Chain A
Amino acid sequence: MALLVVRGLRVRYPGAQEDALRGVDLELAPGEFVCVLGPSGAGKSTLIRCINRLVEPASGQIIWDGHDAMRLKGAHLLAYRRQIGMIFQEFHLVDRLPVLANVLMGRFGYVSPWQAAIGRYGPQEVAWARQALARVGLAGYELRRARDLSGGQRQRVAIARALVQRPRLMLGDEPVSNLDPVTARAIMALLAEINRRDGLTMLINLHSVDLARAFATRVIGLSRGQVAFDGPPSRVDRSVLEQVYGTAG
């Protein structure tokens, strides 16, 4: 059964002349590594923000594990979001706080608000956070301030923060666009390794066609708010890129 089904998704931002998404259909099977390509403004960021309901669609369906995710509110919405990890182009860490504190924030969907408010995490929570840091290659960095780390290291912290959510889907909004090519490849390799070993489903927006070809099991091309291509990376050729980007990429 599909992990996620998206049907007829439409989004219009307030004051915009055109829809940001114009009827997107998408199905994700567990364990897929999907990369979303498309020019700036094609709706890549909007699409993944709709999936965890950071952006409210005007119409359409989002079915998560057989359940309607569009009607979720309050505590149910928070419980839905904690099953979906998310990483960002600018990492989105709290720079002043230590690495471990940033990773523990991934547990917010699970601990009670008053527990988090007084910074009380159980030993199990802290152990998971340390494990996640070791997993992304940052064992020993627990007490370093986030702002003292390099870009690649900060994205690793963000990945660890998403992993402690025990997610079933990882969303990535151009997670490697701010990194140099070597670091970008290393981060993509880390995501691919997590995908293979844990079977964690990935839906990652990318700028780089080469990285998508190298790591994805499936590529989706978005063009002006619509799916222009959906298929294996081996089928991404010149004519497909022309279709998605308008000109040869």
Chain B
Amino acid sequence: MKAESRLAPPATRRGAGLRFLLVLMAVAAVYGASAAATEFHPVVVVRDADVFVQLLGEMWPDNRERWVFLLTDFLPRLKVPFIQTLQIAILGTLAGAVLAVPFVVLASNNLTRNPVVYAAAKALMNLLRTVPELLYASIFVAAVGFGPFPGVLALTVFSMAIVAKLTSESVEAVDPGPLEALEAAGATRAQVIAYAVVPQVLPLFVSYVLYVFEINVRVSTVLGLVGAGGIGQQLQLMLSLFQYENAFIIILATFVLVAAIDYASARVRARLV
């Protein structure tokens, strides 16, 4: 008996199969409860597949003339809203990046020694980051009205929080050696930050700003859905007018734009870091 138990697998291993089964059942139960509450039935997806296929059919322009019209007449008219979308993303990203700088200093424990200020700055950045961009956009639409202005505000707040959080984490990870060396040489605090911290963090900061710009381009295409300007407003309009072919062209163009910017930005970021 004793010899046998010594050969048996350790207790943690023995219970693993049963535990896996219990976790699986728990996940299934949560899924079932959520589906029941939201009246979501996977069966419906299969049963009503023809409705989706029909919608896709309505979106797909079915003859040559329609394609020519959509690409030569409708698409050029999207230029202004698309440019507005990019402008919203650019303004939001740049303003957010600039506003992030003081928070980077306050939310880095090697630059801000006061624990209360540090904790407050870090908590504020985390709090701002938990709110989704579209929620900011709806709040600002309610506050200042429809149009691109609330969109820019929403992206500014969101970008500031992300850039400040990521950059302050990089600042906390810099090599402390040069900071100590400059301090020992009688440098002021501003000199230490400018010469020992900034050179180490600048490439990362630029990379984070580009990363946030990628996110902002994607978000700015849907800001219009809550009335915050850009191409999303056109998409919303076409869907509400049942102009599915036009909506399809907007989605297609959005996809191309976002993919192109993602690709270009990722290339630049790869060279930076």
Contact A94 B187 (CB under 8 A): no
Are B181 and A86 within 8 A (Cβ)? yes
Chain B residues with CB below 8 A from A95, complex form: 175
Asked if B182 is an interface residue, CB under 8 A from chain A, the answer is: yes
B110 contacts A by Cβ under 8 Å: no
User: Is there an interface contact between B191 and A158, defined as CB atoms closer than 8 Å?
Assistant: no
Q: Are A106 and B185 touching (Cβ within 8 A)?
A: yes
Chain B residues whose C-beta falls within 8 Å of the C-beta of A165 in the assembled complex: 185-186
Tell me, yes or no, whether A182 is within 8 Å of chain B by CB.
Answer: no
Of A91, A94, A97, A105, which one neighbours B185 at CB under 8 angstroms? Answer: A105
**Taking A88-B177, A97-B199 as contacts, is the C-beta distance between A117 and B185 under 8 angstroms?**
no
| B contact residues, total (Cβ < 8 Å) | 19
A116 touches which of B181, B183, B195, B199 (Cβ 8 Å): B195
Q: Which residue in chain A gives the minimum CB-CB distance to B183?
A: A54
Interface centre among A88, A94, A116 (most CB of B within 10 A): A94
Interface contact B177-A109, CB-CB below 8 Å:
no
Q: Does B194 contact A (CB under 8 A)?
A: yes
Please tell me if the beta carbons of B183 and A105 are within 8 angstroms of each other in the complex: no
From B177, B188, B195, A105 is in contact (CB under 8 Å) with B195
Q: Which A residues are in CB contact (< 8 Å) with B186?
A: 78-82, 108-109, 165
User: Does A144 make an interface contact (CB < 8 A)?
Assistant: no
Q: How far is the CA of A96 from the CA of B178 in the complex (A)?
A: 11
* Known contacts A95-B175, A105-B181, then 18 further A-B pairs from the complex at CB < 8 Å, ordered by chain A residue: A52-B184, A80-B186, A81-B184, A84-B184, A85-B185, A86-B185, A92-B177, A94-B196, A96-B199, A105-B185, A105-B187, A106-B185, A108-B182, A116-B187, A116-B191, A161-B181, A162-B185, A171-B184
Give A residues with C-beta under 8 Å from B.
Answer: 52, 54, 78-82, 84-86, 88, 90-97, 105-106, 108-109, 113, 116-117, 158, 161-162, 165, 171
Question: What are 8 A-B contacts with C-beta separation under 8 Å?
Answer: A78-B188, A86-B185, A88-B180, A92-B178, A97-B199, A105-B182, A117-B194, A158-B181
